[in-house]
C-alpha cells in the first residue's frame, strides 16, 4: 500500500508541477500525455482501490447510490469540461479518474439503479470491446486528420470505421 501510494503521490506531484509551468529538460518525453511518470498515478488509484476492496464493502444501498450518481456525474462533466485546451495530464484528470473510482466502489454493493444500468447487456458488451476500440480508434483518427486536415467529418468517419478492425481484433485476437 505504501509503495503504490508513494508512486501515485510522486506521479501526481509531477502532474501538478507540469501544470504550474515547470517544463522538463528539452527532449524529455517522459512527462506528458504518453509519459509514464505523469500517468502512473491513475494506475495507482486503481491499484489502491483493488487493495482496499479486500477490506472495503459498501453495505448501505443509499451510499452506493450516491457514490454511483456522483461518479456518473463526474464522468459526464468531464466530457464537457475537458477539451483540447485542457492541460492533460493535469489536475482536471481527477474528474474522470475519481468518477470512475466512485462508480467502481458503488458497484461493490449488490444493487442500485446505477449499478443495474452499467451492468446491463449493452454496457457489458461495450466494456468487453472497449480495449480493442481504445487500441484502434486513435491511429484511424490521426491518419484521417493528416490526410484531410480541418475536415471534422473525415475524422468522425475514421473513428466510426475503427470499430471494424477493433471488433475483429476483439473476436480473433483477444478471444
Average pLDDT of the residues of the chain: 89
- How far from the centroid of its chain's Cα atoms is residue 1's Cα? 22
- Whether the CB-CB separation of 38 and 18 falls below 8 Å is answered with yes
Helix residue ranges per DSSP H, the chain: 2-19, 40-52, 61-81, 94-106, 113-118, 121-147, 152-161, 163-169
- Whether the CB-CB separation of 71 and 49 falls below 8 Å is answered with no
Dist CA 102 CA 57 (whole Å) = 13
pLDDT, tens digit (0-9, with 9 covering 90-100), for 90-99: 889 999 999 9
Banded pLDDT at 156 (limits 50, 70, 90): very high
Amino acid at each position: 500500500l505504501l509503495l503504490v501510494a508513494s508512486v501515485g503521490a510522486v506521479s501526481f506531484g509531477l502532474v501538478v508541477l507540469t501544470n504550474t509551468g515547470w517544463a522538463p529538460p528539452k527532449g524529455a518525453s517522459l512527462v506528458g500525455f504518453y509519459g509514464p511518470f505523469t500517468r502512473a498515478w491513475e494506475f495507482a488509484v486503481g491499484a489502491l482501490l483493488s487493495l482496499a476492496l479486500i477490506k472495503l464493502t459498501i453495505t448501505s444501498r443509499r451510499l452506493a447510490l450516491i457514490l454511483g450518481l456522483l461518479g456518473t456525474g463526474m464522468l459526464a462533466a468531464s466530457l464537457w469540461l475537458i477539451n483540447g485546451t485542457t492541460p492533460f495530464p493535469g489536475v482536471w484528470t481527477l474528474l474522470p479518474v475519481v468518477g470512475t473510482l466512485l462508480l467502481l466502489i458503488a458497484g461493490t454493493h449488490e444493487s442500485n439503479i446505477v449499478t443495474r444500468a452499467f451492468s446491463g447487456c449493452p454496457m457489458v458488451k461495450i466494456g468487453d470491446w472497449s480495449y480493442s476500440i481504445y487500441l484502434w480508434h486513435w491511429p484511424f483518427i490521426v491518419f484521417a486528420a493528416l490526410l484531410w486536415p480541418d475536415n471534422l467529418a473525415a475524422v468522425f468517419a475514421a473513428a466510426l470505421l475503427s470499430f471494424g478492425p477493433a471488433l475483429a481484433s476483439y473476436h480473433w485476437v483477444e478471444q
